[in-house]
Structure formats: C-alpha cells, structure tokens
A and B are shown apart, each in its own frame.
Chain A
C-alpha cells in the first residue's frame, strides 16, 4: 500500500465532487425545460420573441459563469486535498527514516492509534511526534516500557531479530522478568516521584533485577 493512502480516512477530505456534478446536470435539465417552454410559446408576438431571446442569452451567460466558478472551486479543493495527502505521505516517510523498522501498516490497522491521532493529523505535531506520544501514552497506561510497546509495531522480520525485549528472554542472557539497563536508568529517575502503591508494583521485579546485575558483576 502506498504511504499516501494510509490514514486517508482521518483527513477531512470533502467528497462533494458528485454533488457538484449533479448540480451541473440539474442546470442542464433546467435549460432543456426552458427551451421546451420556449417552443410552446412561439406563437406569441415578435417583440415578445425578441425579449425572450435576450433573457435566454442572459441566462446562458449566467449559467456559463456559474459553471466556470464551480470548476475553479472543484480544482482548488482537489489541489488542497492532494497537498494534504502528499504531506501525510511525506510525514510518514520522515517517520520511517527515524524508525526504519516501524510497521506503518500495523499502525494503520490499530484502531486505538487512529482514534488517538484523529483530529491531530496535520495539526501542530507531525506524524512522528504523534506516534511517539502514542507510545508514551500506551506505556504509561500499561506499565510496559516504551520499548516494549514499540515492539508491537515492528516489522515482523525485525521483531524476531531479538534487538528488543521479546517474550521469554530479555536479551543478552537476561531473563524476561529482569529490567533492562535502559529501563533501570529510567526507573532511577522515576522512583522518587512514585506513590507507595506505584512503587510496590515494581519493587519485587526491581529488587530481583538489581540482585541479578550485582551477581553478574
């Protein structure tokens, strides 16, 4: 799937081209009706005929001007929407440069992510920032580290490579229930701010992790 096509449903694209076309058809119908009524009234006097002809001409001119205006508007809308789609594509490309293993299609399928970015896309933050915010939010809600949350959106071939913490083993010979050195560094910053209940939730694993590293030393 082309990156441009991703998240397209979240953009406030205006699908009113058909309506405009219908409006054009309606105008044509009106015109036909007017001509029919004109034929019917041919028997009227010449002066009246002249007057009607002028009115008809005026109406035709008005109609042409109206159609030209609508064409211009349609064109402007189309360009604007194309620009939006291109911008999304560009932002996704940037995100892929920063996170080469990121599976954009998996993100596109994630309804929660789509809800999260709905209304924010092409806003103050770019796609990469929105993605990072989402990972942080999910991490804080699920007591998982950001690294663990990111794991859900890695391309499968890369995910099985074992760079990140995978189920069963923490990598580097580290059991799964031991915090990684990076996680410990983050916890060192976070512990002073924790409430008792928050600390109690991590205390056991933390103690185990420290014992693990101290033993290895």
Chain B
C-alpha cells in the first residue's frame, strides 16, 4: 500500500503555485516556460530563447531564385542558474492534519499563503524593474514637460494620450509590435484614464476582463493595474500616488521560472517543540531573467509637482 500522504505533499505545492500565480499581476504576465528537468545539484535549467527569425527577400523571375545565405540556426534554449527560493513553515507537525488543512478548498491557511506569496513575488519583480538601467527608461516627466503649460512634466488627463503615444512610438521605432506590450501602473493611472474619458473596453476581449489587474485598452495600449506600493511615491497624508515607476513590457521581456516546488519535512529539535518532531515547509526555487532588454522598460511618471518616483 503506497504512502499517499508523501505523494500529497508535492501535489500541494503544485496547487499552491497555480493559485498564487493567478493572484499576481506582474508575475503572471511573464513567460514561465522552461525545458527539461531542473538540475537540482547545479541549480540549472534551460529556458527558451526567442531569437528573431530572418526573412530573406528574393525575386521570382523565370524560376530564378536568389540563394539564401547559409544560416546557422542558433540554439533555441539558454541554460540559466536558479538563485532564488521562497518558503513558508507550517505550524503543524502532524502530516495528516496538515494535508487536511491545506487541501480543503475553504482552507484559510492556504488562501492567506497564496496571497502573501503572490504579493511578495510581484513586489520583488516590480522593484527589479524599477532598478533597470537608464537605457531601459522612458522618462515621461521630461517628454511631457512644456515650459508654457506643463513645466513640471506631470501626467494629466489632458496629456495622457500623448504619453501613451510616446510609449507606442518607442516600440515602433525599434520595429517591434505595440500589441506585444502591456503597461503596468498604479491606481492613479487608472484614475487619469477615467478622468480623460478615454473610450474604455473598445477592444475588450471577453477573457481579459477576468484577468487580474486588467484596466482597459486605452489608445491601443493594454493597461494593467498593480498594487505594489514599493514602486510608487505617495502623499504622506492622503496616501494617494503622486509619482511612480510604471512598467512597459512584453511577455518575454521577463522570463520568470519556478522549476522546483515541493513541501518537505524537517526535524524540529526538542528545545523548540516538546519532545521534538517533524515540521513541514513549502518551498519553491525560482528566478527571473531579462534576456531581451529592448522588450522591458521602466516608465518615469509624475502626477503632482514636487514628487518623484522612489529611488530604489
């Protein structure tokens, strides 16, 4: 007879992963694919590389085709080293009880863990984006500044369309497709769009509305709302967002992989728990990579004079 409890533990981790991922805004917008099996000894995994395919042009004239130059197909995966982990201890030393608590769909413990992990993962990723180098920055404060009408470069309902045009132009100028990009910003950006009375939902796909964080398609830009305070500067009294780092990215702009997820047992010494015992913890090894710098930008936005996005 197999020990079913031991099989249920890693199953729980798979369940938790799926649940916390669905709760995120930023992380679930990243490419999470990997190939093969995680090499746990060396912490290595292969992630797909989306190199550009070449298009060869030719003329068809009396069956005369120009021979294409020999093209060496580059490898389609890149080996990366996973360097991050997250884990939570469970306050239960009885495996049977632990499984019952965690597998129950109404289980409060799992729900709370899922929300915490989702938020922690989004915060970490947002901070990473806000720390991107200057060359991956689109400074809307400078671009929107107008000595006569808007000397401090604030984003307002009047210039939000221009701001979105600037973002799109950065993409088009590099021969990329605007529809691949999404803008992740705070609730203040959503308020600006609402005040500007921009037609919302004109391109609405039925599925999008149910996706976490979806705000609207505004001026052809897919806008998502996050709740990450760390990349915003807030008014000390009202707590309203006055400046922020927004994120303008494609799915493959960040490759976020979680190649190992498990719930494991560990020994608890008698000094910690009477007579000692076994403790349980859920853990994940993960990491994220920006292999295509041209497909990930941080966007510097000011809503109120005198405020700047946080220095991280």
Contact = CB atoms under 8 A, between A and B. Distances in A.
Interface in A155-198: 181, 184-185, 187-188, 191-196
B10 A191 contact: yes
A194 B14 contact: yes
A192 B2 contact: no
A80 B33 CA distance: 51
Contact of B2 (A191, A196, A203, A213): A213
Contact of A214 (B4, B18, B260): B4
B2 A184 contact: yes
B312 interface: no
B205 interface: no
Nearest to A181: B2
Given A193-B38, A195-B33, A187 B14 contact: no
A192 B262 contact: yes
Interface in B245-262: 259-262
A68 interface: no
Interface residues of B, number: 22
Contacts of B40: 193
Interface in B171-195: none
Nearest to B4: A210
Q: Which of A192, A213, A217: most chain B CB closer than 10 A? A: A192
Interface in B20-40: 32-34, 37-38, 40
A55 to B, nearest CB: 57
A12 to B, nearest CB: 31
Given A181-B2, A184-B2, A192-B260, A210 B17 contact: no
A33 interface: no
A206 B261 contact: no
Contacts of B261: 192
B284 to A, nearest CB: 9
B8 interface: yes
B1 A210 contact: no
A124 interface: no
Nearest to A188: B7
A14 B136 CA distance: 64
B37 A193 contact: yes
B13 interface: yes
Contact of B4 (A192, A193, A199, A213): A213
B69 to A, nearest CB: 32
Given A206-B7, A213-B2, 12 more contacts: A185-B2, A188-B6, A191-B10, A191-B11, A193-B40, A195-B33, A196-B14, A203-B11, A206-B11, A210-B7, A213-B4, A214-B4
Interface of B: 1-2, 4, 6-8, 10-11, 13-14, 17-18, 32-34, 37-38, 40, 259-262
17 contacts: A181-B1, A185-B2, A191-B13, A191-B14, A191-B262, A192-B10, A192-B260, A195-B33, A195-B34, A195-B259, A196-B18, A196-B32, A206-B7, A210-B4, A213-B1, A216-B1, A217-B1
